[in-house]
Structure 1
Amino acid sequence: MNGRNAVNSKPEQHLRSQLLSSGVSSAREKVIQQALDNVNRPGFKIEPSAILPLMKPVTWFPPMWAFACGVVSTGEDISSNWSILLRGIILAGPLMCAMSQTMNDYFDREVDAINEPERPIPSGKISKQASWLITFGLIMTGFLVAWSIHPYVMIIAFVGVLMSHAYSGPPLRAKRNGWFGNLIVGLAYEGVAWLTGSFAITQGVPAAESIALAVIFSIGAHGIMTLNDFKSVVGDTIRKVASIPVQLGEKKAAVLASVIMDIAQLAAISILLYKSSYITSGIAILLLLLQLPMQKILVDNPKEKAVWYNAFGTLLYVLSMMVCAVGIRP
């Protein structure tokens, strides 16, 4: 073995020992090593079937839903504004959210090689160079759709691009600390999308209650993002990404996520009560109460139940968003 190979083998051996100590099987370790080779391989490659997975359609729903909540909160007639609603939902999900996912996959490719080696870039289906072409295409298309709604919406879309880069890329790379990274994503996916929906319909400053709910549910989304990080604990630990589960441990992170989501909903319910919207207040309270036993199951076994809770418990949270949007309509 020459000197260079000896030097190169040391980090590989260290990574292997970290993976094995984290309970990763030998077979999985080999897959991860191949993924790490793929993520920085030179050249240009796109497998068309991998483009949609790169954009993570499963993540599109929250900003699309938040945009719709912003529209509903205005009390405007949706049937006469269906075109704006449709373009806004496409902008929020398949364009801007997809863009944030492709950008994140580029900057996170070495972490994904450990956590999710089957992702398009680590698996070698899409090269890192090609991923930037897809990201740029989504940005430009998003700007065009945003401009068709209103010039100010294009400015908001540009801010969304900056927020995505601040979260994933240098020099900030806010996702390296879960406290800041989760807040940025919550604001982008929930708050900005909600307020954009409100502005797109009225083309005016959103009502104070709408702004308050947008901020409140953005903060609550910090908890949802914490739950998303449970699947990445091994890679985040190795790559020194200080997600909330890495910093606090899985049980404390699950408690924190639940408390943040509950406090946000209680704050939203207080606004409904202030508006004398008693029916929607009652529905929102019921949705919150239904989450409590599910949260106990989550806290008792966070590692196994985080994905389950994200699928079912979080659904009740987002339903509460729409209930509150209906409750504050003029």
Structure 2
Amino acid sequence: MSTAITHPPRHLPEPRAMLTLIKPITWFPPTWAFLCGAVSSGVALGAEWPMVLLGMILAGPIVCGMSQAANDWCDRHVDAINEPHRPIPSGRIPGRWGLYIALAMTALSLAVGWLLGPWGFGATVVGVIAAWAYSAEPVRLKRSGWWGPGLVGLSYEGLPWFTGAAVLLSGAPRFEIVAIAGLYALGAHGIMTLNDFKALEGDRQHGVRSLPVTLGPEVAARIACTVMALAQLLVVALLVIWGKPVHALAVFGLILVQLLAMRRLFRDPRRHAPWYNGTGVVLYVSGMMVSAFALRGLA
């Protein structure tokens, strides 16, 4: 069993560890989704770029960063097994500083969300609640291999997309925007399931019932990819129905390339899951932007 890598005792967090704690690599999906929402709204972005930029910063570095800090604090015992080099179990962020950082960023999220108006603030409240519900006891939806990835997919893709459109429209987005955002959020359930592969051993020991733990890596990988593919195929179907065949064809082409990548994933899911998350996901989010421009044309 792995043990935490210890560093000399500290009283204050190591600055570099604080950046590691909020995981900049995870900021891209919600930032991109907010931009997709802004594009899909049909509103001219030229005059609205300060609001769009603020929303992207809120969705990525602030709210997503806060969720990562909260997750690492709540997962510190699991991380001591899976990834003992992480900031909290390694001691580079000592004591309860991980919790203090998560709480401070929660307050910052709400303050910046307020600047985006009622729709932006309301969505920020939902995002903050979702982040803590995923990681913290007694709710800790992360324990479920179904509810946990679903909540993260909604928070990373669906909610930011909805927010980007709502902020620019100063009102509720139309049905087409909500439908496409919802489908991409559904498909992101598969992305989050594949992300669970890296924590397989620690999750098993600490009772986190992720799909790789409960069903095994092979079955979990096939379920994840099926969810991702079906969600995108429904997007293609809707784009065809709404008179956007060229955009539908582009998304379908991206799905075909993903299917080729999935074949490699299935050969050894535990080994290739990180590779697929860096390859197939790029194709997935590319389809999101194609769909956003299709929706823009419907405005």
Which category of TM-score, normalised to the shorter sequence, fits these structures?
over 0.9
- 1:134-181 Cα shifts (integer Å, max 9, x gaps): 112212222222111213322221221111111000111000111010
Question: Does the Cα contact within 8 Å between 2:14 and 2:92 map onto a contact in 1?
Answer: yes
CA distance in 2, matches of 1:316, 1:128: 40
CA distance in 1, matches of 2:108, 2:53: 15
In the alignment, is residue 198 of structure 1 matched against residue 165 of structure 2? yes
Question: Does the Cα contact within 8 Å between 2:196 and 2:210 map onto a contact in 1?
Answer: yes
Question: Does the Cα contact within 8 Å between 2:221 and 2:266 map onto a contact in 1?
Answer: yes
- 1:84-116 Cα shifts (integer Å, max 9, x gaps): 110000000000000000000010000011111
CA distance in 2, matches of 1:90, 1:172: 28
Aligned Cα root-mean-square deviation (Å) = 1.6
Question: Does the Cα contact within 8 Å between 2:4 and 2:85 map onto a contact in 1?
Answer: no
Equivalence for 2:215:
248
In the alignment, is residue 162 of structure 1 matched against residue 144 of structure 2? no
Q: How does 1:302-321 map to 2 (within 5 A)?
A: 302-321=269-288
In the alignment, is residue 282 of structure 1 matched against residue 249 of structure 2? yes
Equivalence for 1:77:
44
Equivalence for 1:296:
263
Identity %: 43
In the alignment, is residue 119 of structure 1 matched against residue 119 of structure 2? no
Question: Does the Cα contact within 8 Å between 1:275 and 1:328 map onto a contact in 2?
Answer: no
One-letter code of the match for 2:156? Answer: Y
Deviation at 1:44, TM superposition (A): 4.7
Equivalence for 1:11:
none
Equivalence for 2:30:
63
Q: Between Structure 1 and Structure 2, how many residues are aligned?
A: 297
Deviation at 1:323, TM superposition (A): 0.7
One-letter code of the match for 2:178? Answer: I
Corresponding residue to 1:87 among 51, 54, 58 = 54
CA distance in 2, matches of 1:128, 1:275: 55
CA distance in 1, matches of 2:29, 2:90: 27
Corresponding residue to 2:206 among 234, 239, 244 = 239
Task: Using structure 1 for the length normalisation, give the TM-score.
Answer: 0.87
Corresponding residue to 1:149 among 105, 109, 116 = 116
- 1:194-245 Cα shifts (integer Å, max 9, x gaps): 1000011011110101100111111100000011011111111111111110
Question: Does the Cα contact within 8 Å between 2:4 and 2:90 map onto a contact in 1?
Answer: no
Equivalence for 1:173:
140
Deviation at 1:45, TM superposition (A): 3.0
Deviation at 1:188, TM superposition (A): 0.8
Equivalence for 1:229:
196
Corresponding residue to 2:73 among 95, 106, 120 = 106
Deviation at 1:311, TM superposition (A): 0.4
Question: Does the Cα contact within 8 Å between 1:70 and 1:325 map onto a contact in 2?
Answer: yes
In the alignment, is residue 136 of structure 1 matched against residue 103 of structure 2? yes
Task: Provide closer, same or farther for how the CA distance between residues 70 and 128 of structure 1 changes in structure 2, counting only shifts above 3 A.
Answer: farther
CA distance in 1, matches of 2:141, 2:30: 20
In structure 1, runs of 5+ residues without a counterpart are 1-18, 20-28
One-letter code of the match for 2:262? Answer: Q
Q: How does 1:35-50 map to 2 (within 5 A)?
A: 44-50=11-17
Task: Provide closer, same or farther for how the CA distance between residues 33 and 199 of structure 1 changes in structure 2, counting only shifts above 3 A.
Answer: closer
CA distance in 2, matches of 1:167, 1:44: 29
CA distance in 1, matches of 2:294, 2:5: 52
One-letter code of the match for 1:308? Answer: W
One-letter code of the match for 2:56? Answer: I
In structure 2, runs of 5+ residues without a counterpart are none
Question: Does the Cα contact within 8 Å between 1:44 and 1:129 map onto a contact in 2?
Answer: no
One-letter code of the match for 1:248? Answer: L
**Structure showing greater Rg:** 1
CA distance in 1, matches of 2:222, 2:253: 20
Deviation at 1:34, TM superposition (A): 5.1
Deviation at 1:33, TM superposition (A): 4.8
